[in-house]
């Protein structure tokens, strides 16, 4: 009866309980008798008996409640019910027809004039008016609901002329101006600005998009999402909310994705439903100190109207569903999202920019306008999640995407092929290239890449990749004079330090845009700017004409900050330890000041102590680069710029921090519950520490840090693990002393990631890779290695992209490994042919206990093949063929399995078995005592048959 919007209006966190209760009662009352009765029924369930009697509300009393259930059933199929179930769609249809609908309701006597006035209060947006109208209608009861439905029918048959009305002339010319502004802003890829201009059109490559809620076991892997699905209907979780979140790691392509959407809209090539699109960068909004009204925000920050401003703004207010707002980089906003902010609903009243932004995202301001916001995952808390329409995850490039990007980047196909070959021979680097920003650097530095050969000397770490771009940009300048020698870092020591200081002070102050004055203070010269690490920032609405700069990408800012920490001989000794103890910082406001030591003493402006969402991830990236720069491998490069003992001291500090950090995680592992395995669930920060250890590239350190980990199960589900993280994990975990179950469910490991994991497979007794975008190719490599690993006994690959092409390798595994225990391949694309091949392996296996094929398409033929192969098994305990199109032939073929084996559970839910098939199973169960349950829910049996069969055989579960 209540909608999410109602729910949120009632549960306002900072309002008192009594006030919330009153609002709830008012709301329920306005929704009519049925809702009052349900509220009383709810009271009846929670109140002690003595307090229940005699309660009444609206026209209902607790005494009447006995009939509630029947009445609720009656409600089904009524006009009110139709209004309720189709509500989101009706709101959309109604908002352009409010007046017409009210006229009819008034005319038929369903509404009074004061009802109409209430709906049409000027503070409501058209969508809000539509919702109020629907609420009123429901409170009036069935006749009013019928009148409204009839009205809908009529308007559909004779659409009102206002539907096809063209927007006013001023709005059309404003749209034209906005389109050309947006087009100009999005035409070139911004980060190329400093070095060369590359048009987005030429380089844009589709990234991998996935719905965030694709985590339910019951939900099969959905097809790939396209760019327009970001704004479209697919995956909508909350119809009432307007905000779509696109989340992804730094460099995963969030800004570029928005830029692409903008360009497509500006050219009229996509997003046709939106008449106007307003784009904002949170980085820029952060520097807006003035209080603004929404109107000013739109016109000042996006596009100034030449025509009648009032008319244009009124059009925006009247047609929220035709407007799209985008906000890039919510994590870079100085303040983190909070809904305890002051409520601000008036589009013409001024407020601080964060207040405007939060109210827009919540829907208190400009309800009905679709908003797309991008952010790094860490910055999105539960508060914002409550207001989301849906969340889309951006997971960087697929292997095909990398190929496509490199080919677009290098017009010369021979160069592109050489780069790709070099990447394929260095899969650690290929893994990193799934993150577009790394892919861009690698492509840009192809000469350096091709020059460094294969094997040990080739780039394996993120730090190496960033050193390549550093070298590349320095070389560009040097080549005008001469080429650089081995001491190229020393040659550019001053530049590195100046840019480093700028980067560091910026991170400490959550500042990403710098004025010319700031640059001067840090000693950054015009020549330094020309190198290309800094790019001109689009001027804010500020009246000053001074130039602003930002780093090419946030990761570049972190890299320079790390260079500064490493190269600066005067740095505070506590800088490195403080940088690594990031978690402690969360309890200490003002940490960054302490962490970044003296750098921040000259900080500009007061720093708000509000939670800075981007801070932790940025400092983590910086710490990762610090670890990498202090690696032995880069020592000779830095030694000319920094005394050996200082470098030694800093490296030691890093190693101590990493070791202590990891130990802290190990200490927090809870004692195992009796009868369960000792298990560690990775806490935030664990994967980051592992990545830092990998950057150091010293196997001794990896071994030492892992020596003390004694768990049987390591859970890393939902940890944003991509191929790059897999390289780091395998690098470290291969040193574990005791075998573990490695759980990596719901990440984006992919085939490249699987290959990266191989070095640690020998320490895994089980590998869980559910929902990881793995195809036959990845599985083939995994199994090839798995066969050689004595301890490897279990694998779970639920919800990947497996087909019949991989079943042969599983058959081989089953034949070769007579200690293999569990094979789970649910929710893939295995058919009867694949099951037939699998059966070849099962026939020779003497150890398998669990076989899961839930949600494939093996049909009767496949079930027969599997049953035949397993009929003599003395080990099988659990078999699932749920949802596989198995009919009676399959069920009857499975019956001998029940007779002979050690089987305890047989799952045949959601198939097409009828009485004949079940009779076979019952017969087999008669001579069996080991089976505990045969699951048959969702087959083709009548309720009578179910009842009769359950009585005959209680182990059948329907």
Q: Under the rule (CB under 6 A), what is the footprint of ligand ADP?
A: 189, 191, 203-205, 207, 248, 250-256, 405, 436-437, 440, 553
H helices present in 275-349, as ranges? 282-286, 294-301, 309-318
Nearest CB to ligand ADP, comparing residues 124 and 466: 466
Minimum distance of ligand ADP from residue 458's CB (angstroms) = 22
Closest CA to 252 of 414, 395, 43, 106: 395
Sheet holding 548-551, edge to edge: 514-515, 548-551, 534-536
Report yes or no: 882 and 906 within 8 Å, Cβ to Cβ: no
829 Cβ contact list (under 8 Å, min separation 6)? 801, 802, 803, 804, 856, 857
Q: Say which DSSP state 801 is in.
A: B
Nearest CB to ligand ADP, comparing residues 263 and 294: 263
Minimum distance of ligand ADP from residue 440's CB (angstroms) = 4
Bridge partner list, 680: 714
Burial class (CB in 10 A: 0-12, 13-18, 19+), 770: buried
Nearest CB to ligand ADP, comparing residues 105 and 258: 258
Between CA 140 and CA 875 the distance in angstroms is 65
- The position carrying tokens 């035409």 is 187
Minimum distance of ligand ADP from residue 431's CB (angstroms) = 16
Between CA 228 and CA 264 the distance in angstroms is 10
Nearest CB to ligand ADP, comparing residues 225 and 825: 225
Three-state secondary-structure class, residue 35: helix
Minimum distance of ligand ADP from residue 178's CB (angstroms) = 22
Minimum distance of ligand ADP from residue 398's CB (angstroms) = 11
Minimum distance of ligand ADP from residue 393's CB (angstroms) = 12
Residue 292 sits at φ, ψ, to 5 deg, of -130, 160
H helices present in 486-525, as ranges? 488-491, 493-508, 516-521
Bridge partner list, 244: 372, 390
Nearest CB to ligand ADP, comparing residues 252 and 909: 252
Nearest CB to ligand ADP, comparing residues 198 and 701: 198
Minimum distance of ligand ADP from residue 329's CB (angstroms) = 7
Three-state secondary-structure class, residue 641: coil
Minimum distance of ligand ADP from residue 445's CB (angstroms) = 13
Pairing of strands 740-743, 764-768: parallel
Minimum distance of ligand ADP from residue 332's CB (angstroms) = 10
Nearest CB to ligand ADP, comparing residues 247 and 359: 247
Nearest CB to ligand ADP, comparing residues 341 and 615: 615
Structure tokens given for 618: 């940025």
Minimum distance of ligand ADP from residue 207's CB (angstroms) = 5
Minimum distance of ligand ADP from residue 254's CB (angstroms) = 4
Nearest CB to ligand ADP, comparing residues 31 and 409: 409
Nearest CB to ligand ADP, comparing residues 621 and 706: 621
Between CA 521 and CA 600 the distance in angstroms is 12
Largest CA distance in the chain: 95
Between CA 138 and CA 730 the distance in angstroms is 60
Minimum distance of ligand ADP from residue 539's CB (angstroms) = 20
Minimum distance of ligand ADP from residue 226's CB (angstroms) = 13
Nearest CB to ligand ADP, comparing residues 488 and 551: 551
Nearest CB to ligand ADP, comparing residues 407 and 899: 407
Q: How far is CA 760 from CA 648, 697, 859, in A?
A: 30, 16, 37
Burial class (CB in 10 A: 0-12, 13-18, 19+), 419: buried
Nearest CB to ligand ADP, comparing residues 503 and 782: 503
- Residue 855 region by backbone torsions, left for phi larger than 0, else alpha for psi between -120 and 50, else beta: left
Other CB atoms within a 10 A radius of the CB of residue 51 amount to 12
- Residue 56 region by backbone torsions, left for phi larger than 0, else alpha for psi between -120 and 50, else beta: beta
CA torsion sign, 945 to 946 to 948 to 954?
Answer: positive
Minimum distance of ligand ADP from residue 270's CB (angstroms) = 15
Nearest CB to ligand ADP, comparing residues 241 and 263: 263
User: What is the separation of C-alpha 66 from the centre of its chain, rounded to a whole number of angstroms?
Assistant: 46
The H helix count followed by the E strand count for the chain is: 48, 24
Nearest CB to ligand ADP, comparing residues 207 and 506: 207
Report yes or no: 944 and 917 within 8 Å, Cβ to Cβ: no
Structure tokens given for 638: 């830095």
Which residue's Cβ has the minimum distance to ligand ADP? Answer: 253
Q: Say which DSSP state 1 is in.
A: -
Three-state secondary-structure class, residue 374: strand
User: What is the separation of C-alpha 544 from the centre of its chain, rounded to a whole number of angstroms?
Assistant: 38
Between CA 96 and CA 149 the distance in angstroms is 15
Pairing of strands 323-328, 276-281: parallel
Nearest CB to ligand ADP, comparing residues 440 and 533: 440
Minimum distance of ligand ADP from residue 352's CB (angstroms) = 25
Pairing of strands 822-824, 794-796: parallel
Give DSSP secondary structure letters for 859-877.
Answer: HHHHHHHHHHHHTT-SS--
Minimum distance of ligand ADP from residue 289's CB (angstroms) = 25
Other CB atoms within a 10 A radius of the CB of residue 438 amount to 24
Nearest CB to ligand ADP, comparing residues 186 and 495: 186
Q: How far is CA 267 from CA 3, 187, 201, 264, 328, in A?
A: 38, 10, 12, 5, 20
Minimum distance of ligand ADP from residue 251's CB (angstroms) = 5
Nearest CB to ligand ADP, comparing residues 394 and 702: 394
Minimum distance of ligand ADP from residue 621's CB (angstroms) = 11
Bridge partner list, 707: none
């Amino acid at each position: 009866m209540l909608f999410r919007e109602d729910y949120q209006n009632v549960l306002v966190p900072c309002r008192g309980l009594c006030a919330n209760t009153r609002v709830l009662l008012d709301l329920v009352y306005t929704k009519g008798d049925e809702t009052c009765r349900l509220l009383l029924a709810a009271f009846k369930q929670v109140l002690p008996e003595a307090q229940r009697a005699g309660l009444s509300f609206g026209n209902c009393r607790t005494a009447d409640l006995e009939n509630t259930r029947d009445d609720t059933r009656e409600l089904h199929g009524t006009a009110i019910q139709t209004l309720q179930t189709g509500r989101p769609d009706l709101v959309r249809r109604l908002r352009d027809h409010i007046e017409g609908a009210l006229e009819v309701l008034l005319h038929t006597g369903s509404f009074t004039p004061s009802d109409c006035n209430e709906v049409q209060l000027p503070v409501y947006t058209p969508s809000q008016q539509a919702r109020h109208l629907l609420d009123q209608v429901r409170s009036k009861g069935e006749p009013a609901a019928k009148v409204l439905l009839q009205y809908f029918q009529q308007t559909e048959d004779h659409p009102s002329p206002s539907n096809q009305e063209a927007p006013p002339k001023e709005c059309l010319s404003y749209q034209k101006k906005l389109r050309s502004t947006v087009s100009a802003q999005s035409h070139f890829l911004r980060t190329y600005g400093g070095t060369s201009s590359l048009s987005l059109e030429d380089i844009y490559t589709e990234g991998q998009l996935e719905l965030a809620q694709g985590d339910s076991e019951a939900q099969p892997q959905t097809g790939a999402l396209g760019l327009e699905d970001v704004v479209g209907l697919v995956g909508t979780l909350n119809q009432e909310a307007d905000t779509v979140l696109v989340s992804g790691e730094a460099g995963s392509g969030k800004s570029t994705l928005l830029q692409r959407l903008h360009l497509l809209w500006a050219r009229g090539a996509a997003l046709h439903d939106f008449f106007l699109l307003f784009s904002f960068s949170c980085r820029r909004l952060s520097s807006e100190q003035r209080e603004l009204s929404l109107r000013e925000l739109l016109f000042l920050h996006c596009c100034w109207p030449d025509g009648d401003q009032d008319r244009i703004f009124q059009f925006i207010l009247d047609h929220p569903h035709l407007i799209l707002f985008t906000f890039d980089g919510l994590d870079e906003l100085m303040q983190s999202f909070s809904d305890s902010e002051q409520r601000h609903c008036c589009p013409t009243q001024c407020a601080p920019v964060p207040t405007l932004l939060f109210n827009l995202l919540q829907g208190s301001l400009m309800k009905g306008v679709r908003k797309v916001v991008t952010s790094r995952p860490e910055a999105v808390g539960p508060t914002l999640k409550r207001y989301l329409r849906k969340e889309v995850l951006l997971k960087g490039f697929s292997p095909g995407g990398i190929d496509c990007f490199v080919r677009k980047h290098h017009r010369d196909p021979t160069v592109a092929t050489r780069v790709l070959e070099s990447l394929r021979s260095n899969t650690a680097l290929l893994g990193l290239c799934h993150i577009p920003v790394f892919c861009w650097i690698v492509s840009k530095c192809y000469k350096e890449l091709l020059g460094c050969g294969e094997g040990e000397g080739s780039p394996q770490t993120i730090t190496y990749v960033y050193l390549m771009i550093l070298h590349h940009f320095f070389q560009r300048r040097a080549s005008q004079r001469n080429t650089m020698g081995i001491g190229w870092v020393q040659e550019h020591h001053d530049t590195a330090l100046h840019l480093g200081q700028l980067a560091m002070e910026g991170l400490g102050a959550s500042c990403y845009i710098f004025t010319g004055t700031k640059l001067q203070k840090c000693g950054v010269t015009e020549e330094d700017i020309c190198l290309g690490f800094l790019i001109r920032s689009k001027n804010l609405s500020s009246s000053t004409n001074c130039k602003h700069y930002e780093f090419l990408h946030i990761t570049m800012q972190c890299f320079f900050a790390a260079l500064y920490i490493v190269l600066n001989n005067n740095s505070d000794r506590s800088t490195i330890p403080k940088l690594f103890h990031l978690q402690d910082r969360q309890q200490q406001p003002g940490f960054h000041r302490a962490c970044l030591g003296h750098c921040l003493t000259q900080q500009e402006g007061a720093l708000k102590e509000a939670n800075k969402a981007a801070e932790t991830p940025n400092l983590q990236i910086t710490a990762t680069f610090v670890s990498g720069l202090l690696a032995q491998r880069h020592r000779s490069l830095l030694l000319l710029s920094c005394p050996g003992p200082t470098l030694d001291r800093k490296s030691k500090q890093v190693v101590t921090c990493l070791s202590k950090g990891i130990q802290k995680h190990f200490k927090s592992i809870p004692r195992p519950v009796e009868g369960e395995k000792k298990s560690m669930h990775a806490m935030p920060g664990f994967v980051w520490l592992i990545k830092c250890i990998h950057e150091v590239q010293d196997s001794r350190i990896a071994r030492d840090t892992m020596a003390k980990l004694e768990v049987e199960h390591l859970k890393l589900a939902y940890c944003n693990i991509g191929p790059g993280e897999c390289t780091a994990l395998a690098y470290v975990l291969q040193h574990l002393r005791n075998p573990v179950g490695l759980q990596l469910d719901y990440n984006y490991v992919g085939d490249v990631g699987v290959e990266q994991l191989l070095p640690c497979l020998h320490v895994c007794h089980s590998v869980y890779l559910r929902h990881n975008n793995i195809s036959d190719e990845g599985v083939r490599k995994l199994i090839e290695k798995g066969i050689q690993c004595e301890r490897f006994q279990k694998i779970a690959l639920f919800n990947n992209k497996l087909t019949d092409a991989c079943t042969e390798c599983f058959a081989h595994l089953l034949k070769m490994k007579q200690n293999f225990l569990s094979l789970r391949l649910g929710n893939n694309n295995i058919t009867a042919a694949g099951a037939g091949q699998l059966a070849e392996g099962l026939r020779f296996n003497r150890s398998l206990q669990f076989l899961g094929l839930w949600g494939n398409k093996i049909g009767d033929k496949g079930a027969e093949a599997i049953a035949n192969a397993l009929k003599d098994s003395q080990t099988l305990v659990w078999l699932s063929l749920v949802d596989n199109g198995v009919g009676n032939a399959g069920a009857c073929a499975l019956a001998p399995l029940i007779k002979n084996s050690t089987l305890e559970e047989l799952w045949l839910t959601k198939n097409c078995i009828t009485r004949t098939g079940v009779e076979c199973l019952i017969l087999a169960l008669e001579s069996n005592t080991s089976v505990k349950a045969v699951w048959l829910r969702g087959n083709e049996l009548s309720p009578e048959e179910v009842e009769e069969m359950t009585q005959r055989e209680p182990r059948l579960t329907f």
